[in-house]
Structure 1
Amino acid sequence: MKALILSAGRGTRLRPITNYIPKPMLPLHGRPLMEWVMLPLIACGIKDFVVAVSYLAEQVKNYFGRGERWGVRINYCYGPEPAGKAGEIWRAREFLGSGEKEENFLVVPGDTLCQLNYRELFHFHRQHRGPVSVAFSTRYRLEVGTAEIDENSRVVKFHEKSNLNVPVSTGAYVLDNRIFPYIEAFSPGGKEVDLPGDVFPELMAERVPIYGFVRDYAWWDVGRISDYESLLKLKADAAAEILTWGSNHGYL
């Protein structure tokens, strides 16, 4: 299976750091962020990568090259501006396979670390034989407090930053080439096209099945300076538990 890593964004919420460094290249405990994203994928057998790049793309290409250092092959799809998740998939279609055969490929964000069992996800996708499988985690802690309020407007219970307890998409998808015509219908060459926001509603309107792979796994979206700093401040043992999680689960 091939993997597309989405790394074309400008990382505006991480400014001023990303004024000079693209988000995939943010240093994190001795490696760029995107390398930590790649390692579990390599460990579960993926050898063929496509990286969607745009902003400060040369920094990414100069570090990762063609993938020889990791024993994999890396191709790059480039656009002058980010194209949205579906738009980036469309740009990468020549590398991902758009023939008649239903070829599966994985799509992951280049800024999210997660303890997702990719092997289980692939098996789930093959079992259901649909064009789309979405990875959901039930582990998402709210950043705000909530409350239960009765019919007399009295607060009866507080929940301080509790777990949301509903499936939350962590940005990983297994797709096959049946998705390309649905993306093409949005004319992705000239505008941003989102996958869950634009394309998925069309699939559901046509009763095309989208399957949800729901598990309880930890994940970290490195999208803001506070998120990034919290990972940087981790002690070595805590960082190792997150970043080399796969070594304890038959991956790394």
Structure 2
Amino acid sequence: MKALILAAGKGTRLRPITNYVPKPMLPLHGRPLMEWVLYPLIACGITNFVIAVSYLAEQIENYFGKGERWGVNIDYSCGSEPAGKAGEIWRARNLLQQEEGPFLVVPGDTVCHLDYRELLDFHQGHGGPVTVAFSSRYHLEVGTAQIDEHNLVKEFKERPNLNQPVSSGAYVLDKRIFSHIEKFNPEKQEVDLPSDIFPRLLQEGTPIYGYTRDYPWWDVGRINDYESLLKLSRAEAAQILPWGS
């Protein structure tokens, strides 16, 4: 099985840092962010990777090379501009179709305690074209309240758990997905997976399966997300990052 790591975005919410460094290469406790993403995938037995790159691609390619340092094989799917999640899958289709069976798609900016092997087994078990990984552990960044008909606050919760499955950005797809992406003309426009492709699949009656487990994940999408990880002590970071890999 191959894994496609999405690393083509410009990281606009992390500017000005990402004016000079692509988000997957942001230093995090001695290593680039995307290296921490890579370790759990290798640990579950994946050895063949495609990295989708575009913005400041040479920095990513120069560091990760062909993957020899980690005992894996890395190919690159490169475009002049980011193409959206589905667009990057389409762009990498020739590399992804070199192996039989489904492929895994993960973001290059999210540290995730997801059991990828169990996710893949789940996908193989249902036989459908799409599996989306959901975490039941997601805390809102704002407080919520229960307010009665007299506008009196009866209960207040600061940053509560959402108590709904939240996508952590990992997908298992089989090759049937390419024909669906092609309908959106990905050569000429950005095409997203969850907002463009998935609604169309549901409209057409194509099943999308959800793998839901209680696992933590950290999306390094904004300055405060990144800074919160940087400020962790080594002991605290060891609870998040796979130091033993």
TM-score with structure 2 setting the length: 0.98
SS at match of 1:10: coil
- The question of whether the paired residues in 2 share the 8 Å contact of 1:98 and 1:177 is answered with no
SS at match of 1:177: coil
1:165 correspondence with 2:154: no
SS at match of 1:208: coil
Q: 1 CA distance for matches of 2:98 and 2:30?
A: 37
- The question of whether the paired residues in 2 share the 8 Å contact of 1:136 and 1:213 is answered with yes
Q: How far has the Cα of 1:158 moved from its partner?
A: 0.6
- The question of whether the paired residues in 2 share the 8 Å contact of 1:136 and 1:167 is answered with yes
Q: 1 CA distance for matches of 2:242 and 2:69?
A: 18
In the alignment, what sits opposite 1:76?
76
In the alignment, what sits opposite 2:237?
239
Q: 2 CA distance for matches of 1:72 and 1:244?
A: 17
- The question of whether the paired residues in 2 share the 8 Å contact of 1:98 and 1:180 is answered with no
- The question of whether the paired residues in 2 share the 8 Å contact of 1:139 and 1:163 is answered with yes
Q: 1 CA distance for matches of 2:140 and 2:187?
A: 36
Q: Indicate the percent of aligned positions where both proteins have the same amino acid.
A: 70
Q: 2 CA distance for matches of 1:150 and 1:96?
A: 54
In the alignment, what sits opposite 2:145?
147
Q: 1 CA distance for matches of 2:108 and 2:52?
A: 9
In the alignment, what sits opposite 2:61?
61
Which amino acid is the alignment partner of residue 5 of structure 2? I
Q: 2 CA distance for matches of 1:199 and 1:29?
A: 36
Equivalent residues in 2 for 1:110-149 (5 A)?
110-149=108-147
Cα-Cα RMSD: 1.2
Q: 1 CA distance for matches of 2:90 and 2:183?
A: 11
Across the two proteins, how many residue pairs are aligned to each other?
245
In the alignment, what sits opposite 2:196?
198
In the alignment, what sits opposite 1:13?
13
Gaps of 5+ in 1: none
Q: 2 CA distance for matches of 1:45 and 1:238?
A: 27
In the alignment, what sits opposite 2:211?
213
Which amino acid is the alignment partner of residue 36 of structure 1? W
Q: Give the counterpart of 2:186 among 185, 188, 197.
A: 188
In the alignment, what sits opposite 1:25?
25
Q: 2 CA distance for matches of 1:98 and 1:188?
A: 20
SS at match of 1:204: helix
Q: How far has the Cα of 1:98 moved from its partner?
A: 7.4
- The question of whether the paired residues in 2 share the 8 Å contact of 1:137 and 1:216 is answered with yes
1:222 correspondence with 2:206: no
